Chain A
């Protein structure tokens, strides 16, 4: 899957949010590209993926700011939640900046279910599976 967003009008603003789940046996490749061709554009991409046990994810995200695209603000966030054993993920956030009046940044995080959150939910009477399910739901809500 490849998602391409081009900002080519002066002052354009774009916000992209994607939430996905990779389930058992799936090998998913996702690439996002946000290209800034015009000045004063602003773009945010948020991509959140849950990788279930036995799932594989390859996530690439590119921010490209072309020459002449001044006063651009670009942000990309990749957030991956790995569940259980045998889940794998590769995150490749890339920046290609050819203009200097810009602010471009990205953040990527890969993590597991927080033990403390699990503990809290289980102390409230949920079993482990229910607690994990709730945490996944919360992760995918933003």
Chain B
């Protein structure tokens, strides 16, 4: 199918031998506790009592469960009709307690993380790590010098027990339990996730990382993350996600809430690389006060159906929101990703850059919202979405909504969909590259504006993952 040169026999073979998803291994299912399949009020109560929560949180969960039942499935986006809520395990506990050292973590789990390279990464360049396995955080660490500055980085359950006032000050306020069906589900059965508090004026120089892993079949992972960045502070949080390949589906429905104080800044980087049997339905939202900055860097590579629209509410004057999103939809995948910026105050600015790639019959959609409310005078926003389609079977859509209720603003939106330029390919191949190498180079160049914002290790990883997915997909 090559356009300029025949594919060599040895390259053909290489393509089929390479496994496209190398995190698809599974460990034996060993757990301390596993709930029955399916969801009912008993399961919600059981999760709450397993965590010995107070009445306030239990009631919060039960109310959320009612909202979940009342809300109908969203039909405006990807096809979710195949999710069977009664076939999912809502709570699986794999280790007794959260370890403070890798040595305390049970062997099977430790092996999993070793294979994923987390301990090395921690040593090399991270300020703190959280590892979540199934429903619970099984390992956590934070550098002493960061602890001494008053930074809190712990599991959500631990935070609720230790700092209830701080948690409740923002918990469920940025993403209310009735926000959407999956936020309600998360609010009812949430378990694990990270809690970060950065005190006034403290800048966290090394990224904090969380790593999420699903191992059990038909598992539902519902982590809940809350990040509070106080006035003038800065934090960079990185999360990664993988799961084994099973023939049956798993569900990941997280809620992430971020509150950014006056003049503070937060960057949240996600590399979502779930196996292609995971439904990833996540609600992520940040509230930004005066002159604060929120940056979402969102990489969507894995999962079967992904619906994720990181949002920024610009509530204070001069606040800035930035969303960089990259999505790669391969065989059998639907990446429905994008971003939302809601301007409530004067002089607020936002920028969304989205890059998507569809190949091997995959479908990628950009879905976004820019809203400027009355009173958001002198606000500006720019949205750019570019899409590449690599073959005939694939599909790409763009569904942006720009809602402007204030006249003294500027909004720009542009989108393009195209295939890899023949001229670019021809040039590279005339310089001696194989066709697939040339294609990979063009694609890597295409996503470069986002990749360069990632921590080094992740950008190398992302480039490698994309060239792996790309092999054998000649347009």
Q: Do A and B come from one complex?
A: yes
List residues of A whose CB falls within 8 A of some B CB. 51, 67, 80, 82-112
Q: Do B400 and A88 touch (CB < 8 A)? A: no
Chain B at the A interface: mostly helix, strand, loop or mixed?
strand
Q: Which of B387, B412, B415 has the most CB of A within 10 A?
A: B415
Instruction: Let me know if B26 is at the binding interface, CB within 8 A.
Output: no
Q: Do A110 and B410 touch (CB < 8 A)? A: yes
Q: Nearest Cβ distance between residue A39 and chain B, in whole angstroms?
A: 12
Report the contact-size class of chain B (Cβ under 8 Å from the partner).
Answer: 20 to 34
Task: Tell me, in angstroms, the Cα distance from A111 to B397 when the chains sit together.
Answer: 25
List residues of B whose CB falls within 8 A of some A CB. 387, 389-392, 394-405, 407-419, 475
Q: Do B419 and A108 touch (CB < 8 A)? A: no
Q: Do B417 and A105 touch (CB < 8 A)? A: yes
Top-3 shortest CB links A-B = A105-B416, A82-B407, A95-B398
Task: Tell me, in angstroms, the Cα distance from A106 to B402 when the chains sit together.
Answer: 13
Residues of B near A91 (CB, < 8 A) are 401-402, 404, 411, 413
Given A88-B405, A97-B395, check contact A110 B411 (CB 8 Å): yes
Q: Nearest Cβ distance between residue A60 and chain B, in whole angstroms?
A: 9
Chain A at the B interface: mostly helix, strand, loop or mixed?
strand
Q: Do A103 and B411 touch (CB < 8 A)? A: no
Q: Do A92 and B418 touch (CB < 8 A)? A: no
Task: Tell me, in angstroms, the Cα distance from A91 to B209 when the chains sit together.
Answer: 38
- 6 A-B pairs whose Cβ atoms sit less than 8 Å apart in the complex: A91-B402, A105-B415, A105-B418, A106-B414, A110-B410, A112-B410
Task: Tell me, in angstroms, the Cα distance from A89 to B403 when the chains sit together.
Answer: 6
Q: Do B407 and A106 touch (CB < 8 A)? A: no
Q: Do B409 and A111 touch (CB < 8 A)? A: yes
Residues of A near B398 (CB, < 8 A) are 93-95, 106
Task: Tell me, in angstroms, the Cα distance from A107 to B395 when the chains sit together.
Answer: 20
Task: Tell me, in angstroms, the Cα distance from A105 to B383 when the chains sit together.
Answer: 13
Task: Write the chain A residue with the least CB distance to B399.
Answer: A94
Residues of B near A100 (CB, < 8 A) are 389-392, 394, 419, 475
Residues of A near B418 (CB, < 8 A) are 102-105
